[in-house]
Amino acid sequence: MSIVGGPVWQIGDRAFDCSERTLVMGILNVTPDSFSDGGAFVSERAAIDHGVDMVVQGADIIDVGGESTRPGSDLVTAREEIRRVVPIVEQLVAQLAGFPISVDTRKAEVAEAALGAGAIVVNDVSAGTDPRMFGVVRASGAALVLMHMKGEPKTMQEAPHYDDVVAEVREFLAERVEAAVFAGIDPERVAIDPGIGFGKDLGHNLTLIHHVDALLELGRPVLVGPSRKRFIGSLLDLPEDQRVEGTAAAVAWMVARGAHVVRVHDVREISRVVRVVDAIARAGA
């Protein structure tokens, strides 16, 4: 299918037309225990430098996260997450004037602090489970990513089950978009994420990736995050730092099937992949 045509994602005062090209969200984990790069950017200087480097490499958005949500991870307090995230957001906003900074959090308290520091996107893996989250996002006018996750990070990979993973994920995301809009959030500020690797086994992940275009009927930008995930390691028998080619393959498939935003660690390499896929997909338009 063609990826030409797509919704608008309003981020701050910019309207990103998803029919024009695929957006790249760079991952900036300021955690000691994230599954792929935990500890690599815990110092403020290393985190800021990496964020700036990703912009140079082609990122359209930088997503700053202070809590690992890898399978088996423990909950981090809001206070600790704010301590990790807010100084990085503040400095990136100061150094990258006007560039979209996102906060990856499921806690309204953290989102509120990061938005106050200048972030303009909330990337919520729990899709607004915190009862205050929608109110915080609405009040700030921030953009919002709603992700599907079955269970909690600590236990989500313990024998996840679906009767129809694509239909169930689509139904969940439709309901959460409706809830966000009902709470007063502008629908053009909402994007959706099928949550690859979050409460899904290898078969579930491959089926979701294969049928990612089924989410397009919801009419919101589709963000995908296959980067260095366990399913790639299972297929290639490779550690996290050797999964760039596998990530590129998953990204290329999903972009060709209609995904609008890719969230990745390897920004330089994946930016090049999506530029080529975009050009091919639009060649016959």
Residue of 229, 230, 243, 257 with catalytic role: 229
Q: Which of 228, 279, 222, 221 is closest to 249 using CA atoms?
A: 228
In this structure, what token pair is assigned to residue 25? 């969200």
Lowest mean pLDDT among 31-35, 123-127, 133-137: 31-35
Query: What is d(CA 121, CA 189) in angstroms, rounded to the nearest whole number?
Result: 9
263 is catalytic: yes
Domain 20-277: homologous superfamily in CATH: Dihydropteroate synthase-like (3.20.20.20)
Q: Quick: pLDDT tens for 42-51.
A: 678 889 999 9
Whether 150 is catalytic: no
Integer angstrom CA distances of residue 258 from 181, 218, 232, 237: 23, 12, 21, 28
Model pLDDT, residue 1: 41
pLDDT single digits (tens) 69-87: 767 667 889 999 999 999 9
pLDDT for residue 152: 75
Rounded CA-CA distance 279/21 in Å is: 9
DSSP states of 221-250 as a string?
A: PBEE--TT-HHHHHHH---GGG-HHHHHHH
Residue 216: Cβ-neighbour burial (10 angstroms; 0-12, 13-18, 19+): buried
Q: Is the pTM above the cut of 0.95?
A: no
Closest CA relative to residue 85, chosen from 109, 59, 57, 53: 109
For residue 38, name the pLDDT band (cuts at 50, 70, 90). Answer: very low
pLDDT of amino acid 40:
53
3-state helix, strand, coil in the chain (%, to 5): 45, 15, 40
